[in-house]
Structure 1
Amino acid sequence: MRAGAFLYPWDVVGDPAAPGRLATLGLDRITLAAAYHSTRAVTPRHPRHRVVTAEYAAVLYPPDPARWRGRALAPYPAGDWAPGDAFGAAAEALAGAALEVHSWVVLAHNSRLGAEHPETSVVNAHGDRYPWAPCIAQDAVRAFLVDLAAEAAVRPGAVGTELESCGWYGLAHLHAHDKTGGLPAGPDAQYLMSLCFCPACRTGYGERGADPDELAAAVRAALEPAWRGGPAAPLPAPLAAAALAHRLATARTFQEAAVTAVRAAAPPGFRVLLHADPTPHHTGADPGTDPSHVLTFADGVVTPASHIPAFAPHTRPGTTLAANLPVVHALGATPHALTADAHRAARQGATELSLYHAGLASDTDLKAVRETLAALR
């Protein structure tokens, strides 16, 4: 079974030993960030730094001035955490160690965009904006993200891409000093809190027969029991159906447009994978998709190992089902169980492993990766 691992350019640039160290793990592929959200990350083995702070969502290469000139929405070049063509430098170094490179492109997750262009953000039923979550129903947002997908995915040195947040984002977000632990729990409440009521979405609900004001009031009413500690109430069936229809149609067409744009810019054989959840209305970094639909236009998906069985019945010859397995003990992974988890994913239909995250992992975590990949082969 082929295996890859996620990585940031700053894990490689400035560390000549990094490519060789990664190659000795038994990896075939590195999924290297090309467009990424703000983060703070450790670099346990880097000779020059131990903590990298990426202050805002940025592209980790020089964006094409001709593509973005005169446009209100455009990508932000990275600061000193990934100056110049950090992606290109890292990709070249990894190729020198015979490691295949996929670009890792985060789309609908961008706090700086929402701060500077608040009209682009998801707005919940209470009128609160989510600046980290661009609304993919808006024409300007879609045009920006589709062009970003094409540019960031097809970087020199990449033979494929993985599109993360290619769909609806929502409430869930690991925000700086996040204080939302007291919000209504459970997937139903998360979904209701993620429904957008920006002008584009209000129009979309109306086109599907739902008055947006009535829908917003119903969402607020359905959330009231959750704020008191119970489960959220269901929406009236006609309103629920209209809201879901708008969101599913919007997500589908956005995902199809992003994949089409990447393929138009890419050479033959370039692989396009989506980070995906098999529950269509789910939101977040792995947005919900219909497994029977997404695998008709994408080359495959990257999904938590537990979701592999939902996608497996819908594969075609050559479809990639990459099981996303965490490997960092400090982030809640269980490295001692990695081999068993990998074997289970393979039995359930996974064709590859995607290990999160080689740059954040300790030496002990990487030892478990090495042992697991050796056992699989």
Structure 2
Amino acid sequence: MKTSAFLYPWDVVGDPDAAARVAGLGVQQVTLASAYHSTRALTPRHPGSRIVTAEYAAVLYPPDAARWAGRALRPREQSWVPGTDPYAEAARALTEAGIEVHSWVVLAHNSRLGAEHPGTSVVNAYGDRYPWAPCIAQPDVRAYLVDLAAEAAVREGTLGTELESCGWYGFAHLHAHDKTAGVGLGEAAQYLMSLCFCPDCRAGYGEQGLDADELSASVRRALEPVWSGSATAGAGWSGVGELLGADLADATFRWRGRVARTLQESAVAAVREAAGAGFQVLLHADPAAYRTGANVGVDAGHILSVADGVVLPCTGGDGAREAVLGPFAGGGGVLAANFGVVSGMGGSPGTLARDAAHAASLGANELRLYHAGLASGPDLEAVADALSRIGR
């Protein structure tokens, strides 16, 4: 199975041993961040640093001034990695070490955008804005995301891309010093807390025959049992219907599903137009189409007709892996099982060989490893051992 490890450019730039070390794991590919959200990251083997603080969502290359001239929504260039184009520098080093490079592009997750342009953010039924979550129904936001996808995906020395958060983002996000665990929100409540009521979404609900004011009031009423601790809704989409009512829930999803699907179609088309033939385009995805986040909810049949495949979160146990991979099995294209290999972040590098075999039995034909730059030395040793056994 072809295997790719995730990396940041700062894991490679300034470390002359990084590319060879990654190649020594036994991976054939690196998925290298070219557009990424704010983060604080450990660099445990870098000769010059131990912590990188990416203060805001940024691109790791010089953006095209002509493309973005005169536009209010535009990518911010990073300032925390030395050099004018750290993505290209890292990609060259990895390519010289014999590793394919694919770009890693984070789209609808950008706190800086929401801070500088509050009107672009998702607005919940209470009127609270989510600055980390651009509303993908807004025309200016969609145009920005589609152009960002094309530019950030197609970089020097890059043979393909993986688009993360190419769809709705919502409530569930680890924001700075998060303090949101006081009330347990199940999937149904998270969906309701992720519904957007910006002007464009309010108009979209109207297209589905809904009055936006009445809908927001219904959402608030539906959430009252959650805040009081008496909610009994089931899991999954049926739980959303139990809280909000099946007809209202379905109407909101018709609007949101159409918005997400058309954004994905436009983003993939833009990347392919920029890249030309042979450039692989994958989406980080989840088979539950109503879910929001980095692994956006998709319709399996639709997304496999649009992109070259998907990258799916597979860190959970056997049952969770079956639920994630099953809807895509036999659909054709790349089905990449993404495993956490940082034990300190909940990953399990010691069981990677067994877990990969199970994923393969469910139809996975590639592996993704999160994240070679963040993992400890013992974690990387376990990865190398697992990949040597998988290859035998």
Q: TM-score, normalised by structure 2?
A: 0.94
2:325, 2:257 → 1: CA distance? 21
Is the Cα–Cα contact under 8 Å of residues 60 and 82 in structure 1 kept in the other structure? no
- Among residues 315, 329, 346, which one is paired with 2:343 in the alignment? 329
2:226 aligns to what?
Answer: 226
Give the superposed CA RMSD: 1.0
Q: Is 1:105 aligned to residue 112 of structure 2? A: no
User: How many Å apart are 1:80 and its aligned residue?
Assistant: 2.4
1:48 aligns to what?
Answer: 48
1:345 aligns to what?
Answer: 359
SS in 2 for 1:73: coil
1:308, 1:81 → 2: CA distance? 36
2:86 aligns to what?
Answer: 86
SS in 2 for 1:234: helix
User: How many Å apart are 1:238 and its aligned residue?
Assistant: 2.5
2:82, 2:337 → 1: CA distance? 28
Is the Cα–Cα contact under 8 Å of residues 308 and 350 in structure 1 kept in the other structure? yes
Is the Cα–Cα contact under 8 Å of residues 60 and 83 in structure 1 kept in the other structure? no
1:201 aligns to what?
Answer: 201
User: Where in structure 2 are there 5+ consecutive unaligned residues?
Assistant: 234-241, 315-320
- 1:204-353 counterparts in 2 under 5 A? 204-231=204-231, 233-305=242-314, 306=321, 307-313=324-330, 315-316=331-332, 319-353=333-367
1:69 aligns to what?
Answer: 69
2:386, 2:327 → 1: CA distance? 24
1:83, 1:104 → 2: CA distance? 19
Is the Cα–Cα contact under 8 Å of residues 184 and 190 in structure 1 kept in the other structure? no
1:357, 1:183 → 2: CA distance? 31
Is the Cα–Cα contact under 8 Å of residues 53 and 81 in structure 1 kept in the other structure? no
Question: 4+ residue runs of structure 1 moved beyond 3 angstroms?
Answer: none
1:293 partner letter: H
What is the number of equivalent residue pairs in this alignment?
374
Identity of aligned residues (%): 64
2:381 aligns to what?
Answer: 367
Q: Deviations over 1:41-69 (max 9, x none)?
A: 00010000000000000000000000000
SS in 2 for 1:276: strand
1:347, 1:83 → 2: CA distance? 44
2:168 aligns to what?
Answer: 168
- 1:22-37 counterparts in 2 under 5 A? 22-37=22-37
Q: Deviations over 1:81-119 (max 9, x none)?
A: 364200000000000000000000000000000000000
User: How many Å apart are 1:241 and its aligned residue?
Assistant: 1.7
User: Where in structure 1 are there 5+ consecutive unaligned residues?
Assistant: none
SS in 1 for 2:375: coil
